[in-house]
Chain A
Amino acid sequence: MSDPAATFFLIGASHQTAPLQLRERLALTPDKLPSFHAALGALQGLREITVLNTCNRVEFYGVAESPAAVARLQETFCAFQGLPPDAFAAICRQAHGRAAIEHLLSVACGIESQMLGETEILGQVKDAYADAQTRRTTGPVLNRVFQKTFQYAKHVRTHTAINEGQISIANVAVDLALKIFGDLSSTRILLLGAGDIGEKTAKAFQSRGAASLTVASRTLGRAMELATAFNGTALPWQHVTEKLGDYSIVVGSTAAPDIVVSTADVTAAMKKRRAEPLFFIDLALPRDIDAAVAKLDNVFLYNLDDLAKIAEENLAARTAQVSHARQIVGEKAEAIWKQIEAQAS
């Protein structure tokens, strides 16, 4: 390779450069991908290419023989998506050489993610690279850049607290449950009401391996509908109090104007639970669970404000790590770039 600094490139757009309505037009949906890759294959002067296509970003990392080849890629993409070239140019991020590597590494570490420090993006970058390998569109430069990126992204996550602590309400609730129960494989979840945030929280618990999910709603039909969606069971509303002790985690998200679970209900339930703790997550406004239950031994109660505050604190802690993470990213990008240059020479 003659001059890797001139030929290794990044072009693309993300939530940082484009509003949602434009990102919707940029997204490469699965049905479009085969024909788009066919179009890429026909491009002159494009030696290597990887497409990172997630809900928040579409980015192309590649090796081109000249800047003209990069321009052709941009034109092809705009034509394919029916996007005016000027509109794309206004939101497009472009970088070359070391700067492009630094961006890729930042993306893989979660620094550029909408939800700072999230870990899912690294998997998505890995998938993008694996896809490119399957299509045989990677070569010596992309192979080295991506493999080193995976290695250094792990390093950054290990040596900073960029991904520590949960920053969504549902995941904060799951983390707290883990602090109480260790693992969720034997925990039974009771979801009171069918509020949106309660549903998301129940989903988060299920994805982390909760043993079972029961839904109770004043409307049994709605409870059954939600229970079916979660592969759980429905509990008639009038049985909630007597069955309370059977559950480890109770998520309140009803629209009831008054308290749904009283201190007396919980005191009775705790006799049934013997030494087992009980965790209440009250996501309802007005609240579903009597605040006084928090004073009971072995009972833990968190409401919406508590969870939001923890999520904010965690986000602040992650944000405080960004400059440290960027410093490491800069050093590692430099190291990768030197290897690419050495490889080229």
Chain B
Amino acid sequence: MLTGFPMPDFTDRNWLWFATAFYLTGFVLGTIALLRERRQSLAVTYAIVLAGFLIQTVGLYQRGLAVKGCPLGNTFEIFQFTAWSAIALYLVVGVTFRLSLLGYFTSLLSAVLTSVSLAIPAWDATRRVGAFGGNPWIEFHAALALFSYGVFALLALTSVMYLLQVFSLKKRHLHGVFAFLPSIRDLDHINLRLLTAGVAILSASLAVGSVYWLPDLDTVNLAKIITTLAVWAAYAVVLGLRLKAVLISKKFAWTCILLFAAALLSLQPVNSSRQPLSASPPAAASR
């Protein structure tokens, strides 16, 4: 447990800024390498992203201690958790598939998500109180749902990489960033795996949540249910169409990107439909 270690007296937001700095460093170093037409070392990228991930984990853990639960009570926390999930996935996928540039793009996405969430104080000014009614299963359901968003974030990234590679090959732009992109087939395979994983995790999340919704439908906001089920259904349909080879190649990649954008936008209505806002913002948690 972190509480047993001598830790610097930083607030959770301090830690999260440090993590953002690491993600930005990964992105900047990757950009420099690409501008020099050099391949960025996978090990270096991985180490920087891992350091950022560990620091972000400390920040989120501290926030979790302060709010006595999973930190998913406002837009700031949701963006942070989504970025954290995407990075966690990259740390597994990156080692397993060694997709070049995935670390670079993940650093970029996480840097954007975390820095935007940190730069807008209003997103962290208030938070939902008792968001999960003290029920660890509902908390688990929410964490799983957001983790699946992390998977879909990574899927959107690999879809962007796929489109860049197709553009590169079709338009004969083979140098610069294009020279280091993974192959079309590798990206297609990883896209399918990520989509399958994302749908499975979101399904599990909904299954856990439904145990509590179904017996007590009156307490659940209809907008939230519809939005969540729509996101799940959309991804499930896309998975079905991809497996049947009806939706493939560029159309599939574009769909994954647009769906993730829509899923991100849906977070706001889902979040605002939950319990009322706390009267005061959470104190910047320190150790």
* Chain B residues near A310 (CB-CB < 8 A): 172, 174
The 8 Å CB contact of A274, one of B165, B168, B175, B248, is B248
Our pick among A164, A179, A274, A306 for the contact of B184 (Cβ within 8 Å) is A179
CA distance A297 to B181 in the complex (A): 19
* A275: interface (CB < 8 Å): yes
Whether A275 contacts B248 by the Cβ 8 Å rule is yes
Given A179-B169, A181-B185, A277-B185, residue A161 in contact with residue B37 (CB < 8 A):
yes
Q: Which residues of chain B from 9 to 41 have any CB-CB distance to chain A below 8 Å in the complex? A: 37
Interchain residue pairs A-B with the least CB separation, the first 3? A274-B245, A182-B183, A275-B248
Determine if A298 is an interface residue (Cβ-Cβ < 8 Å): yes
How far is B216's CA from A224's CA once the two chains are assembled, in angstroms?
73
- Contact between chains at A275 and B188 (CB < 8 Å): yes
Q: Which residues in A have some Cβ–Cβ distance to B below 8 Å?
A: 161, 164, 176, 178-182, 274-277, 294, 297-298, 300, 306, 309-310, 313, 317
A selection of 19 A-B contacts at a CB cut-off of 8 Å is A164-B37, A178-B183, A179-B168, A179-B183, A179-B184, A180-B169, A180-B183, A181-B184, A274-B245, A275-B245, A275-B248, A275-B249, A277-B249, A298-B248, A306-B172, A309-B172, A310-B172, A310-B174, A313-B175
One of A182, A274, A275 near B182 (C-beta < 8 A): A182
Q: How far is the CB of B23 from chain A (nearest CB, A)?
A: 28
Q: Tell me how far the C-beta of A250 lies from the nearest C-beta in chain B, rounded to whole angstroms.
A: 16
- Cα–Cα, bound, A31→B183 (Å): 46
Closest to B192 in A: A275
| A276 partner residues in chain B, CB cutoff 8 A | 185
Q: Identify which of B37, B249, B251 gathers the most chain A CB atoms within 10 Å of its CB.
A: B249
Residue ID in chain A nearest B39 by CB atoms: A164
Instruction: Let me know if B165 and A179 touch, CB within 8 A.
Output: yes
Q: A300, B169: Cβ atoms under 8 Å? A: yes
Q: Which of these, B168, B172, B242, contacts A275 with CB under 8 Å?
A: B242
Contacts of A317 in B (CB 8 A): 175
With both chains docked as a complex, state the minimum distance between the C-beta of B199 and any C-beta of chain A, in angstroms.
17
Residues on A with C-beta less than 8 A from B175 are: 313, 317
Task: With both chains docked as a complex, state the minimum distance between the C-beta of A308 and any C-beta of chain B, in angstroms.
Answer: 12
Binary interface encoding of chain B residues 49-67 relative to chain A, with 1 for a CB under 8 A from any of its CBs, else 0: 0000000000000000000
Contact B249 A297 (CB under 8 A): yes
Contacts of B274 in A (CB 8 A): none
Q: In the complex the two chains form, is A294's CB within 8 Å of B170's CB? A: yes
Alpha-carbon distance between A176 and B179 when the two chains are bound, in angstroms? 10
- Which chain B positions have C-beta within 8 A of A306? 172
Q: Which residues of A contact B186 (CB under 8 A)?
A: 182
Docked Cα-Cα span, A306 to B173, in Å, equals 11
* A176 and B169 contacting across the interface, CB-CB below 8 Å: yes
Q: Which residue of B lies closest to A317 (CB)?
A: B175
B250 is an interface residue with CB less than 8 A from chain A: yes
Chain B proximity of A124: nearest CB distance (Å): 26
The distance in angstroms between the C-alpha atoms of A178 and B185, with both chains bound, is 9
Chain A nearest CB from B52 CB (Å) reads 28
Taking CB as reference atom, which chain B residue is nearest A271? B245
Write the nearest CB–CB distance from B47 to chain A, whole angstroms.
Answer: 20
Beyond A180-B169, A181-B184, 18 extra complex contacts between A and B, CB < 8 Å: A164-B37, A176-B169, A178-B183, A179-B165, A179-B168, A179-B174, A179-B183, A179-B184, A180-B184, A181-B183, A182-B182, A274-B248, A275-B249, A277-B185, A298-B248, A300-B170, A310-B172, A310-B174
Residues of A close to B181: CB separation below 8 A = 179
Tell me the B182-241 residues at the A interface (CB within 8 Å): 182-186, 188
Looking at B37, B165, B174, B186, the one whose CB has the most chain A CB atoms below 10 A away is: B174
In the bound complex, what is the Cα–Cα distance between A274 and B242 (angstroms)? 10
Q: What's the nearest-Cβ distance from chain A to residue B99, in Å?
A: 10
CB of A114, distance to nearest CB on chain B (Å):
24
Q: Would you give the shortest CB distance from B190 to chain A, in whole angstroms?
A: 11
What is the CA–CA distance of A297 and B251 in the complex, to the nearest angstrom? 9
Shortest Cβ gap from B153 to chain A (Å): 23
Within 8 A of A (CB), among B143-193: 165, 168-170, 172, 174-175, 181-186, 188
A295: nearest chain-B partner, CB-CB: B170
Q: Which residue of B is nearest A297, CB measured?
A: B249
Q: In whole angstroms, how far apart are the Cα atoms of A241 and B174 in the complex?
A: 31
Please give, as numbers and ranges, the residues of chain B lying within 8 Å of A179 by CB-CB distance: 165, 168-169, 174, 181, 183-184
The reply to whether A298 and B249 contact each other, CB–CB distance below 8 Å, is: yes
| Nearest CB in chain A to that of B247: its residue | A275
Contact assessment for A297 and B250 in the assembled complex, using a CB-CB cutoff below 8 Å? yes
Contacts of B169 in A (CB 8 A): 176, 179-180, 300
Chain A's nearest CB lies how many Å from the CB of B256?
14
Q: How far is the CB of B80 from chain A (nearest CB, A)?
A: 34
* CB-defined contacts of A313 to chain B, threshold 8 Å: 175
Q: Which residues of B contact A182 (CB under 8 A)?
A: 182-183, 185-186
- Provide the bound-state CA to CA distance between A180 and B188, in Å: 10
Tell me the complex Cα distance, A297–B246, Å. Answer: 12
Distance A161 CA – B186 CA, assembled complex (angstroms): 25
Q: Which residue of A lies closest to B245 (CB)?
A: A274
Contacts of B168 in A (CB 8 A): 179
Per-residue interface assignment for chain B, residues 98 to 117, with 1 indicating a CB less than 8 Å from any chain A CB and 0 otherwise:
00000000000000000000
